[in-house]
Amino acid sequence: MSNYVLDASAILALLNNEPGSEIVINVLTETVISSVNLSEVIAKLADNGMSEMEVREVISALGLEILPFDIAMAYYAGMLRPLTRSVGLSFGDRACLSLGKSLGLPILTTDRVWVDLNLGVNVQVIRENIYLEKSPKLQNFADK
């Protein structure tokens, strides 16, 4: 069962063992990612010199639930552009926000600017304590 949507930045934090990666590890089996955001992760791994076979092995090992980007999400992401252009959100960012909105699930990201957008989507930044007050499960993990 999915309880969180992962942004590409959260997966990359996990793969690079960056701050916040422990949060992602703790909930990885309860997450979902958009095919758009998966493409961002794949591109970053390819940019770092991984072959397609190596990338496929890494992605497979994560055991991610990957959802396709559908028409409703396309409209929502497209309509977000005028609202988010001033803060520089990419298509991938808007795709992630769209999936979170569509599923009614909190999004785990490293992008702090998303919190201040007030788009009706629960955004939890894995590198800050902001997620603690919003998620008892993550609060319990942080106390360990």
Architecture of domain 4-142: 3-Layer(aba) Sandwich (3.40)
pLDDT digits (tens, 9 = 90+) for 125-144: 998 754 444 444 444 434 43
pLDDT digits (tens, 9 = 90+) for 35-89: 999 999 999 999 999 999 999 999 999 999 999 999 999 999 999 999 999 999 9
Instruction: Give the per-residue pLDDT at 118.
Output: 87
Helix (H) or strand (E) holding 60, with range, is: helix 52-62
Instruction: Give the per-residue pLDDT at 67.
Output: 98
pLDDT digits (tens, 9 = 90+) for 79-116: 999 999 999 999 999 999 999 999 999 999 999 999 98
Nearest CA to 8 out of 79, 88, 110 is that of 110
Residue with tokens 């092995």: 57
pTM comes to 0.86
Domain locations in the chain? 4-142
- Whether the per-residue pLDDT at 22 is higher than 90: the answer is yes
CA distance 109 to 100: 11
